[in-house]
Structure 1
Amino acid sequence: MSARGVGKLCFLKKTVNAAVYQDVLETFLIPTVEEQFGEEDFIFQQDLAPAHAAKSTKDWFTKKQLEVLAWPANSPDLNVIENLWAIVKRKIRDRKPTTLDQLKQNIATAWEAVSAETCDKLVKSMPRRLRAVIQAKGAATKY
C-alpha cells in the first residue's frame, strides 16, 4: 500500500524466507510501483523481519535501485500496514466464512474497498507516529 492506494493482494501458502519475499516483491511490488508511481521516486518501508533484512534481499533492492527506509532494530511497530490490516479485519468481522476460499474472497473484497484517501491518511500519520515515539522515548504509543 502507498498513499495512492492498495496494490494487488497476495495470499501465500508457504513460509516467507528471503527467496519467497523477493519473489513477492518482484511479482507484486514492482507492478504496483509502476502503476502508482511510474517514474516518480518513492521510498519503500519494511521492518527488519529476517526475510526483509537478508543480504540477498538488500542486494535485490540495490539491483532494482529502490530506496528502502532505514528501520531501527527493536523499534515500535509503526508500519501503517498494521492499521490497514485492522481496517480490513473490521470490514470482514461480521462475515462467517465456512471455507478458506470464502475467507480469502472476504479479505480480497475488503482490501479492494480500501480507498486511496484512507491509505493517504495512514501514510500522512507517519510524522505524528514518529513524534509520539520520540516523546515516549521509544516506549509504547497509541499507534
Structure 2
Amino acid sequence: MVWSCISWYGPGYIVDVGKNMTKDAYLEVLQDDLMKSLAWYMEESGNPTNQFIFMQDNDPKHTAKVVSKWLNEQDFHVMKWPPQSPDLNPIENMWKLLKRRLFRSYDCPPCGIHELWDCIGHTWYQITAEECQKFIKSMPDRCSAVIEANGFYIGY
C-alpha cells in the first residue's frame, strides 16, 4: 500500500506502508511523512502550517481516535469529508496519473519490489506543481457537479 499527499506546490513524500495499514501505522505516516511534506511545502511557499488544509477520506484508520486526537493538535486545518466521495479527492487523480505514467514509461515490468519502488519514486517526483494545481483548481467545478447530480458520483 502506498501513501502520499499533494499540495499547490507539488507532490509530497511517497511511502510504502506495507500490505495493511493500521491506525497506528497511519499515525506514524502522518507524524513523519506528512510533517516532512508540510515542512517542504512551507519552505516552497513561505506559508505557515495554519495555511494548509488537510484532506483525507473516512477510512476507519483515518478517523480513529488516536489519529483524530493528533490531527486536532496540529496547526493545519482538517477538512470534514463526505463519505464515499473519491470523485471529490484530487489525490485520486494523482494516483491515476502515476499508474498511467508507470504503465507508459517502462518497457517491461519491474523485476522485484525494489525496482518497482525505484520506478514509483522516480515517476511520482517527476509530477509537477502545475499538474497538482490542475486537479486542485478543478475542485469548485467538482463540487458544483456533485450538487447538480444530487450527491451522486460525477466521474472525476
Q: Give me the TM-score of the superposition, normalised by structure 1.
A: 0.92
| TM-aligned CA deviation for residue 78 of structure 1 | 1.7
Q: Structure 1 stretch 49-58 or stretch 69-78: which is displaced more?
A: 69-78
> Which residue does the alignment assign to 1:44?
54
Number of residue equivalences: 143
Matches within 5 A, 1:1-143: 1-37=6-42, 38-40=47-49, 41-94=51-104, 95=106, 96-143=109-156
- CA RMSD of superposed structures (Å): 1.4
More RCO (CA 8 Å, sep 6+): 1
Of all paired residues, the percent bearing the same amino acid is: 36
Where does the alignment leave 5 or more consecutive residues of structure 1 unmatched? none
Quote the offset at 1:76 in angstroms: 4.9
Structure-2 change in CA distance of 1:88 and 1:61 (3 Å):
same
Moved segments of 4+, more than 2 Å: 73-77
- 2:3 counterpart residue number: none
1:55 is displaced (CA, Å) by 1.3
Return the alpha-carbon distance in structure 2 between the equivalents of residues 138 and 76 of structure 1: 12
Q: Is the 8 A contact 1:97 1:103 kept in 2?
A: yes
Tell me the TM-score normalized by structure 2: 0.85
In the alignment, the residues of structure 1 paired with residue 84 and residue 100 of structure 2 have an alpha-carbon distance, to the nearest angstrom, of: 28
Looking at structure 1, the residues matched to 134 and 103 of structure 2 have their Cα atoms a distance apart, in angstroms, of 22
- Distance in structure 2 (CA, Å) of the matches to 1:115 and 1:51: 29
The structure with the greater share of residues assigned to strand is 2
Q: Which amino acid counterpart does residue 67 of structure 2 have in structure 1? A: T
Q: Partners of 1:88 and 1:42 in 2: how far apart?
A: 24
Structure 2 unaligned blocks of 5 or more:
1-5
Alpha-carbon offset, residue 128 of structure 1: 0.9
- Say if 1:76 and 1:139, in contact at 8 Å, map to a contact too: no
